[in-house]
Amino acid sequence: MPSEAGQHEAQAPADLKRSLLDTVQQAPATDRAQGKLIRAAKRAARSELSVSRGERKHGWADTDVLSIEGVHDNVRRFHASELSRAQFVELFERPRMPTVITGLIEDWPAQERWTEQALLQRFGDHRFKVGSDDDGYGVRLKLEHFLAYLSDPEHRLDDSPLYIFDGTFADRKGSRDLVHDYKVPGFFAEDLMQHAGERRRPPYRWFVMGPGRSGSGLHVDPLATSAWNALLQGHKRWVLFPPGTPRSLLIPPGIEREAVSWFQRMYHRTQQPDWPAARPIDIIQGPGETVFVPGGWWHAVLNLDLTIAVTHNYASTATFDRIWAHTQKGRPKMSAKWLDTLRIIRPDLAAVVDAMRERGEDQPGSASSSSSSSSSSSSSSSSGSSSSSSSSSSSESEHGQNAGTVPVPKRRRTNEDQADTALSRLDPDQSRAHLDQLAA
């Protein structure tokens, strides 16, 4: 059964090793052409900032933003050998409880192949996505230039560094071999979205690499899908808030969703005695650990040093009803094709959809849909504020101020709303007590 490994004060990670990065391409800082490419990528991904000054206007490289002193990792951990897939579903997936799992990636080839040197040798000439421009198009940079960027004194002090968060690595000739370096853990192997078709389904897997102060801004993953994040190198700091936590409380006016900014300016408020919602779950993820993020949970991630990871979103039977409601609302054409296939391959799930329609429960509840956002855009928000603010609240647009001329009938409170409200009132200690009761 799961062990209580979460009640410890996190230890600071080792300083970022730069011995390899400092020798990339024989002193890359002096390469004028390379420098221009790096500055162009920064300018495209962060158009609101001046490359010469704006990237350091907050001086976060000189602050304690990466300090984890006083941060208590309070998530429940367990080793992969301690639970069966069925137990994982009942203890974590179905009740939507985050956890950290160890022992899942020990036999991955990526353990040896995803070092800076090995990646440089295999993919140095390949361009990976390091952000998005103001129009939502990906900003790409060769891996050799990205590694040079990490070691260049001109860029080391950036408030929010460029961050590889590439959702098309498996589809591109130059990087698709990365998919052979890891395998989806059995706990997350069910992949219902595959039945929508590979070309039609939303992005669902990302290769992730970034230095300290880069990260993923506060967001909720799209379509109520769950996610797993396996870390090969470095340390990540996570903060998670339950479904139903008001967006206006987590991202009030004047607070950016960008990871480094949010942790610097907002996190301390969540620890005050007058914080009106559930306190967050805090996680310090180390190498070899896999974080499970259930659908509907707000989360932000801050890299504490150079990290290399892979993350997937997935849809499973345990939470299919929520996923269907959000998918039908957000991707109606895809959901229609998906349902056609499910009627053949998974008639039991098609029957769930039919029953939901009869009960009028085939639309997402306002508590969860109000925080829907694009994983690919929000997770790369540290590389561009335009991406962190591009996803909007579906319920806000439907029931907001712009609906004043037409009366909007009050929506019936659904079971999903009630479940989200219950989770939002559940503190981490209560969550662990609840799981202990289930496991007894």
Q: Which residue has the higher pLDDT, 323 or 434?
A: 323
Domains in the chain, please, with CATH? 8-397+417-439 (2.60.120.650)
Classify residue 208 by its DSSP letter. Answer: E
Using DSSP's 3-state secondary structure scheme, residue 178 falls into helix
Residues 6+ apart with CB under 8 A from 141: 37, 38, 41, 127, 128, 130, 149, 162
Pairing label, strands 77-79, 99-102: parallel
Name the pLDDT band for 45 (thresholds 50, 70, 90): confident
**CB burial class (10 A; 0-12, 13-18, 19+) of residue 337?**
middle
Pick the closest to residue 201 from 228, 232, 176, 170 (CA basis): 170
Give the start-end residues of each E strand in 162-305: 164-166, 205-210, 215-219, 226-233, 236-241, 281-285, 289-293, 298-303
Q: Which residue has the higher pLDDT, 27 or 194?
A: 194
Specify the range with the lowest mean pLDDT, choosing from 55-69, 192-206, 414-428.
414-428
Would you give the distance in Å from CA 393 to the centre of its chain? 18
Specify the range with the lowest mean pLDDT, choosing from 41-55, 287-301, 323-337, 377-391.
377-391
How confident is the model over 312-341, as a mean pLDDT? 97
What does the CA dihedral 46, 49, 51, 53 come to, rounded to 10 degrees? -150
pLDDT in tens, 333-379: 999 999 999 999 999 999 999 999 999 887 776 333 333 333 433 34
Q: What is the pLDDT of residue 300?
A: 97
Q: What is the pLDDT of residue 406?
A: 31
Would you give the distance in Å from CA 89 to the centre of its chain? 20
231: pLDDT strictly greater than 60: yes
pLDDT in tens, 248-263: 999 999 888 789 889 9
How confident is the model over 186-194, as a mean pLDDT? 97
How confident is the model over 20-35, as a mean pLDDT? 54
Q: What is the pLDDT of residue 417?
A: 54
5 token code pair? 């490994």
Would you give the distance in Å from CA 240 to the centre of its chain? 10
Q: What is the pLDDT of residue 33?
A: 86
pLDDT in tens, 383-438: 443 333 333 333 322 233 333 333 333 444 455 555 555 555 555 555 455 445 54
Specify the range with the lowest mean pLDDT, choosing from 224-228, 243-247, 429-433.
429-433
Pick the closest to residue 221 from 235, 234, 240, 236 (CA basis): 240
pLDDT in tens, 271-287: 999 999 999 999 999 99
187: pLDDT strictly greater than 90: yes
Strongest mean pLDDT among 55-69, 305-319, 411-425 = 305-319
pLDDT mean across residues, the chain? 81
Name the pLDDT band for 34 (thresholds 50, 70, 90): confident
Q: What is the pLDDT of residue 366?
A: 37
Using DSSP's 3-state secondary structure scheme, residue 431 falls into helix
Cite the DSSP H helix spans in 366-427: 366-369, 375-378, 385-388, 394-399, 415-424
Q: What is the pLDDT of residue 363?
A: 73
